[in-house]
């Protein structure tokens, strides 16, 4: 996102965990298309561009190859606010039909898309008049963005429910805001503890944003406690010899359903559990690419359409280190997790996909005791079954 803003001329400075953005210097209606194309939220810049210039040109958004990534909701939603969007040479050119700017309207999303909800909420905050968006995404990140925009001067009601009421403002102002902790990163590290049958203490974390995973891991036999508000302890250490964790079923879905972004990592974990588990991916049409790679570690997984059956650990069997390839962001993490649970060395190529979602992944894993190194074009995750994270 920083590179998109910079390509528009904004100044972005990072200092430790803070980003300072100066948007006053935005001087272009057309961000660098490579920068926009890389990220899924490429349309996020449309609202601010409209306010300043009355038009915008952005590249088609990119993102992981996990099925078709349509943008019809963005196009129809912005259209309802008075934008005309035309596709020209792989770029979307948008201008206001009234020649001035966006105007508030009512719009119902066919599916509670997170990216479309966030884009329309930002655009409506800068449109003239009132907007009502219904069947919107209720993900915690949408609520967090609404809180941030409100701090910048926007008027938004209903965040966290399926309807948003937005009164447009001519301008938003800078403010200082602490964004919510990354619940998908936290969930991935909870699964790192679970897959290595060890324990981890995580902070900062908002347990209510990840209750789905907490419930499932607890049902598997993990002990999960939250002593202080933003800290969570996960212990997957078996209480007695011979005990082990049990598998469970999941079906991904919009919040508060099971997050699709934790499905691949969760499947790696389920492959190490006792009993049969079923995973159903219902958000993206082609998000089981990791099944083929996970099988290389030894487990029996049967994938069919968007459902996978994981047959669980066979008595006496263990994961074997393997050479595997990550084809998208979260499957990269799921293969690293499998490598941590495996005997011997695992080499994961294509790990750069995961850099988009996990900052300093190997450093954080090393800090909790994992033996992971990054090589020029791949990451080697090396682990012994007795070697976990603590
Ligand atoms: C519901 C869900 O789990 N959303 C996740 C999804 O959000 P992201 O915003 O990328 O995805 P969406 O929520 O937009 O997509 C969810 C579904 O909506 C469909 N769709 C989307 C836009 C559109 O214009 N038309 C359309 O049909 C997609 O094909 C998909 O089946 O990935 C993000 C990054 O991994 C996660 O943070 C979100 O939690
Ligand atoms: C699929 C993901 O990202 P994107 O929407 O950017 O492809 C993800 O974060 O898991």
Out of 124, 141, 167, pick the residue that ends a domain.
167
Could you give the ipTM of this predicted complex?
0.94
Indicate if 11 and 138 belong to the same structural domain: yes
Please determine, for residue 305, whether its predicted confidence score (pLDDT) is greater than 60: yes
Q: What is the CATH number of the domain that holds 8?
A: 3.65.10.10
Out of 136, 167, 198, pick the residue that ends a domain.
167
| Mean pLDDT of the region 173-182 | 94
Partnered with residue 252 across adjacent β-strands are 258
Indicate if 123 and 27 belong to the same structural domain: yes
pLDDT of residue 289: 95
Which of 194, 242, 190 has the alpha carbon at shortest distance from 211?
Answer: 190
Q: Is 256 in the pocket of ligand 1 (CB under 6 A)?
A: no
Tokens of 2: 């920083």
323 is a domain residue: yes
Indicate if 208 and 145 belong to the same structural domain: no
176 is a domain residue: no
Indicate if 154 and 286 belong to the same structural domain: no
Determine the distance from the C-alpha atom of residue 120 to the mean position of all C-alpha atoms in its chain, rounded to a whole number.
19
pLDDT digits over 46-71, tens only?
877 887 788 888 888 888 889 988 99
- Give the residue ranges of DSSP H helices in the chain: 2-7, 33-38, 46-53, 72-80, 114-125, 140-151, 183-195, 211-220, 263-270, 290-295, 329-341, 361-367
Indicate if 199 and 134 belong to the same structural domain: no
| Mean pLDDT of the region 161-169 | 97
Closest atom of ligand 2 relative to the 357 alpha carbon? 9
Three-class secondary structure assignment of 187-206:
HHHHHHHHHCCCEEEECCCC
| Mean pLDDT of the region 173-201 | 96
174 is a domain residue: no
Indicate if 66 and 208 belong to the same structural domain: no
Please determine, for residue 385, whether its predicted confidence score (pLDDT) is greater than 70: no
Indicate if 163 and 203 belong to the same structural domain: no
CA of 385 to the centre of ligand 2 (A): 30
Report which bound ligand comes closest to the CA of 259. 1
Q: Is 257 in the pocket of ligand 1 (CB under 6 A)?
A: no
Indicate if 197 and 141 belong to the same structural domain: no
Please determine, for residue 42, whether its predicted confidence score (pLDDT) is greater than 80: no
Report which bound ligand comes closest to the CA of 64. 2
47 is a domain residue: yes
Sort 100 into a burial class: Cβ within 10 Å, 0-12 / 13-18 / 19+: exposed
Cβ–Cβ < 8 Å for 362, 373? yes
From atom 16 of ligand 1, which residue's Cα is the shortest distance away? 113
Cα atoms found within 13 Å of the Cα of residue 119, Cβ hemisphere only: 28
218 is a domain residue: yes
Taking the C-alpha atoms of residue 307 and residue 215, their distance in angstroms, rounded to an integer, is 21
Cα Rg for the chain, rounded, in angstroms?
A: 22
Provide the domain count of the chain.
2
pLDDT of residue 31: 84
Indicate if 239 and 190 belong to the same structural domain: yes
pLDDT band with cut points at 50, 70 and 90 for residue 386: very low
Taking the C-alpha atoms of residue 143 and residue 155, their distance in angstroms, rounded to an integer, is 13
Lowest mean pLDDT among 6-10, 80-84, 136-140: 6-10
Indicate if 192 and 151 belong to the same structural domain: no
Cβ-Cβ contacts under 8 Å for 281 (sequence gap 6 or more): 252, 260, 263, 287, 288, 306, 307
Query: What's the pTM?
Result: 0.93
119 is a domain residue: yes
Partnered with residue 128 across adjacent β-strands are 103
Tokens of 324: 């595997």
361 is a domain residue: yes
pLDDT band with cut points at 50, 70 and 90 for residue 102: very high
pLDDT of residue 314: 74
Q: Please tell me which residue, 382 or 100, carries the higher pLDDT value.
A: 100
Out of 132, 167, 202, pick the residue that ends a domain.
167
Lowest mean pLDDT among 9-13, 42-46, 109-113: 42-46
Closest atom of ligand 1 relative to the 283 alpha carbon? 31
Distances 193 to 10, 31, 369 between C-alpha atoms, Å = 40, 41, 11
User: In whole numbers, what is the pLDDT of the chain averaged over residues?
Assistant: 90
Determine the distance from the C-alpha atom of residue 254 to the mean position of all C-alpha atoms in its chain, rounded to a whole number.
12
Indicate if 286 and 339 belong to the same structural domain: yes
CA of 329 to the centre of ligand 2 (A): 7
- 110-128 b/e with 16+ CB inside 10 Å = b? eebbbbbbbbbbbbbbbbb
pLDDT digits over 315-336, tens only?
667 889 999 999 999 999 999 9
pLDDT digits over 196-212, tens only?
999 999 999 999 999 99
% residues pLDDT > 70 (the chain): 95
Which of 12, 83, 11 has the alpha carbon at shortest distance from 46?
Answer: 83
Indicate if 6 and 132 belong to the same structural domain: yes
Taking the C-alpha atoms of residue 340 and residue 321, their distance in angstroms, rounded to an integer, is 9
Domain containing residue 9: 2-167
Q: Is 293 in the pocket of ligand 1 (CB under 6 A)?
A: no
Please determine, for residue 158, whether its predicted confidence score (pLDDT) is greater than 70: yes
Q: Is the peptide bond between 256 and the residue preceding it cis, with omega within 30 degrees of 0?
A: yes
pLDDT band with cut points at 50, 70 and 90 for residue 99: confident
173 is a domain residue: no
pLDDT band with cut points at 50, 70 and 90 for residue 387: very low
Q: Is 261 in the pocket of ligand 2 (CB under 6 A)?
A: yes
Catalytically annotated residues? 64
Report which bound ligand comes closest to the CA of 111. 1
pLDDT digits over 237-280, tens only?
988 887 899 999 999 999 999 999 999 999 999 999 999 999 99
Q: Is 329 in the pocket of ligand 2 (CB under 6 A)?
A: yes
| Mean pLDDT of the region 180-190 | 97
């Amino acid at each position: 996102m920083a590179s998109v803003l910079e390509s528009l001329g904004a100044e972005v400075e990072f200092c430790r965990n803070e980003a300072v953005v100066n948007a006053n210097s935005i001087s272009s209606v057309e961000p660098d298309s490579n920068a926009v194309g890389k990220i899924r939220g490429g349309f996020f810049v449309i609202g601010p561009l409209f306010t300043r210039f009355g038009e915008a040109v952005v590249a088609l958004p990119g993102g992981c190859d996990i099925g078709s990534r349509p943008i019809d909701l963005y196009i129809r939603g912005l259209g309802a606010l008075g934008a005309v969007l035309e596709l020209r040479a792989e770029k979307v050119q948008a201008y206001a039909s009234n020649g001035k700017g966006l105007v508030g309207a009512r719009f119902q999303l066919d599916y509670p898309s997170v990216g479309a909800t966030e884009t329309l909420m930002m655009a409506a905050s800068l449109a003239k008049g009132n907007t009502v968006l219904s069947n919107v995404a209720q993900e915690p990140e949408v609520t967090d963005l609404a809180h941030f925009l409100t701090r910048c001067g926007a008027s938004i009601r209903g965040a966290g429910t399926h309807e948003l009421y937005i009164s447009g403002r001519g301008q938003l102002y800078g403010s200082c805001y602490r964004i919510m902790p990354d619940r998908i990163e936290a969930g991935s590290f909870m699964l790192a503890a679970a897959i290595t049958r060890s324990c981890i203490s995580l902070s900062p974390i908002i347990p209510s944003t990840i209750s789905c995973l907490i419930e499932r891991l607890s049902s598997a036999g993990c002990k999960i406690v939250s002593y202080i508000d933003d800290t969570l302890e996960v212990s997957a250490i078996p209480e007695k010899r011979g005990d082990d964790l049990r598998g469970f079923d999941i079906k991904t879905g919009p919040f508060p359903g099971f997050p699709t972004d934790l499905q691949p990592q969760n499947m790696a974990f389920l492959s190490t559990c006792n009993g049969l588990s079923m995973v159903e991916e219902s958000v993206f049409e082609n998000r089981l690419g990791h099944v083929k790679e996970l099988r290389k570690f030894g487990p029996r997984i049967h994938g069919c359409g968007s459902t996978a059956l994981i047959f669980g650990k066979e008595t006496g069997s263990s994961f074997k280190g393997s050479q595997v390839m990550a084809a998208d962001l979260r499957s990269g993490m799921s293969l690293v997790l499998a490598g941590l649970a495996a005997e011997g060395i695992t080499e994961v190529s294509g790990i750069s996909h995961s850099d988009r979602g996990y900052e300093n992944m190997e450093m954080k894993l090393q800090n909790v005791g994992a033996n992971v190194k990054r090589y020029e074009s791949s990451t080697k995750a090396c682990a012994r079954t007795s070697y976990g994270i603590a």
